[in-house]
Amino acid sequence: MSSLLEGRTAIVTGAGRGIGRAHALELARHGAAVVVNDFGVSLSGEGTGESPAEAVVAEIEAAGGRAVVNGADVADFEQAAAMVEQAITTYGGLDILVNNAGFVRDRMLVNTAEEEWDAVIRVHLKGHFAPLRHAGAYWRAESKEGRQRAARVINTSSGAGLQGSVGQTTYSAAKGGIAAMTLVAAQEMGRYGVTVNAIAPVARTRMTEGAFDTSAMALPEDNSPIVAWLASAEAGDVTGRVIEIDGGRVTVELGWRHGPALDLGRRWEAAEVGPALRELLAAGPAPEPVYGA
Ligand SMILES: NC(=O)c1ccc[n+]([C@@H]2O[C@H](COP(=O)([O-])OP(=O)(O)OC[C@H]3O[C@@H](n4cnc5c(N)ncnc54)[C@H](O)[C@@H]3O)[C@@H](O)[C@H]2O)c1
């Protein structure tokens, strides 16, 4: 067992399966005590009555690590608060929050039902916001009491949210929102010792197995060493960044930037816009292709 995360406490959401499970095992292997959260839902978010987090806790304990089950729905504001509280009361504090839980209901935009939109936006966006909101308030309070922690948040975006993905309008909107939330949270929480970054993972899980040819796809555990390092005290100078991980390849995502601009110093006439805007568009790099386009 390494000591990279020795003495630190982590919450990993959606850690009963797939990528979250791999993160929980990796963080525990590096010495963190882990709250293994999972609501036990199906790929499309329906209840299954399963508690996959229990098996992950058993696996961590069998390897000599420390872990505890949490069954919260992370998008429920009160349950998210109780999850943060569980970490603090069980292990005496919280240092690391890995927001990972989520599900998909893939549809073309024009076929998307209102409840599909609401469910996917809720689980990803509110499911990131609620734990971050409660953990952030705890870290602010600790900082004000003179007990600033080297706190680390790792959110989970997606190539779908950064480059876009055909057939995943809602999911892409949610994952793009998570990238933007990461930028703002990093700025707001830095003064309390908190870094906030996001990963855009790739892995063969039940989420991708139904949608793509996954035979050559990266494994869930390929993502987790990067999360373990970002979660360490060593990573205090890295914040507000989005990192894509695909097997052994790590890519810094550069996101929206100001590109070519023209300032007339007065309001534009509609007739002037076409030629000028086309020139500006041609002067900048072409957008990256949307996945599936
Ligand atoms: N697999 C990929 O290639 C890929 C790519 C980009 C992003 N992601 C993102 O990575 C994360 C993990 O995906 P995965 O592929 O491991 O999926 P997965 O379905 O294997 O695991 C997700 C887990 O989250 C849990 N969960 C769902 N809703 C929950 C809720 N409200 N509260 C608590 N737990 C909940 C599920 O029960 C499940 O165990 C997701 O946010 C996903 O969008 C995955």
Closest Cα to atom 39 of ligand 1 = 17
Is 123 inside any structural domain? yes
CA 47 to chain centre: 22
Give the whole-angstrom CA distance, residue 242 versus residue 193: 19
Is 119 inside any structural domain? yes
Res 75: pLDDT: 98
Ligand 1 and 119: CB distance under 6 A = no
**Helix runs in the chain, H state only:** 18-29, 52-62, 77-91, 114-121, 127-144, 159-162, 169-189, 206-209, 224-230, 270-283
pLDDT band at 8 (very low <50, low <70, confident <90, very high): very high
Q: What angle do CA 175, 181, 184 make, to 5 degrees?
A: 155
Contact 143, 191 (CB under 8 A): yes
Q: What is the tens place of the pLDDT at every residue in 208-255? A: 997 778 889 999 999 999 999 999 999 999 999 999 999 999 999 999
Segment among 18-27, 42-51, 83-92, 116-125 with least mean pLDDT: 42-51
Res 211: pLDDT: 76
At 165, list the tokens.
């993905």
**Distance from the CA of 278 to the center of ligand 1, in angstroms?**
40
Query: In 3-state terms, what secondary structure has residue 199?
Result: strand
Closest Cα to atom 32 of ligand 1 = 73
Give the whole-angstrom CA distance, residue 185 versus residue 204: 29
Ligand 1 and 73: CB distance under 6 A = yes
Residue 155 has pLDDT above 80, yes or no: yes
Res 121: pLDDT: 98
Residue 276 to residues 51, 137, 142, 201, 281, Cα–Cα distance (Å): 58, 47, 53, 38, 9
Res 2: pLDDT: 84
At 284, list the tokens.
């900048």
Is 127 inside any structural domain? yes
At 86, list the tokens.
């569980």
Contact 175, 202 (CB under 8 A): no
pLDDT band at 122 (very low <50, low <70, confident <90, very high): very high
Is 276 inside any structural domain? no
Residue 147 has pLDDT above 80, yes or no: yes
Closest Cα to atom 1 of ligand 1 = 203
Q: Which amino acid is at 78?
A: E
**Distance from the CA of 74 to the center of ligand 1, in angstroms?**
12
Give the whole-angstrom CA distance, residue 102 versus residue 113: 18
Ligand 1 and 153: CB distance under 6 A = no
Q: What is the tens place of the pLDDT at every residue in 32-79? A: 999 999 999 999 999 998 899 999 999 999 999 999 999 999 999 999
Q: What is the tens place of the pLDDT at every residue in 172-212? A: 999 999 999 999 999 999 999 999 999 999 999 999 997 77
Q: Return mean pLDDT, the chain.
A: 97
Res 229: pLDDT: 98
Is 212 inside any structural domain? yes
Give the whole-angstrom CA distance, residue 270 versus residue 203: 47
Res 289: pLDDT: 97
Nearest atom, ligand 1, residue 52 CA:
39
Regarding pTM above 0.85, the answer is yes
Nearest atom, ligand 1, residue 160 CA:
6
**Distance from the CA of 103 to the center of ligand 1, in angstroms?**
5
Percentage of the chain with pLDDT > 70?
Answer: 100
Residue in the block written with tokens 């963080």: 27
Q: Of 70, 92, 132, which Cα lies nearest the Cα of 9?
A: 92
pLDDT band at 259 (very low <50, low <70, confident <90, very high): very high
Res 126: pLDDT: 98
pLDDT band at 94 (very low <50, low <70, confident <90, very high): very high
Is 279 inside any structural domain? no
CATH of the domain at 128: 3.40.50.720
Is 2 inside any structural domain? no
Ligand 1 and 43: CB distance under 6 A = yes
Ligand 1 and 125: CB distance under 6 A = no
Q: Of 12, 249, 246, 17, which Cα lies nearest the Cα of 152?
A: 12
* Domain of residue 128, residue span: 9-253
**Distance from the CA of 157 to the center of ligand 1, in angstroms?**
11
Ligand 1 and 214: CB distance under 6 A = no
Contact 170, 214 (CB under 8 A): no
Res 115: pLDDT: 98
Number of domains in the chain: 1
Give the mean pLDDT of 127-134.
98
Ligand 1 and 52: CB distance under 6 A = yes
Residue 143 has pLDDT above 80, yes or no: yes
- Catalytically annotated residues: 158, 171, 175
**Distance from the CA of 207 to the center of ligand 1, in angstroms?**
7
Ligand 1 and 44: CB distance under 6 A = no
Is 51 inside any structural domain? yes
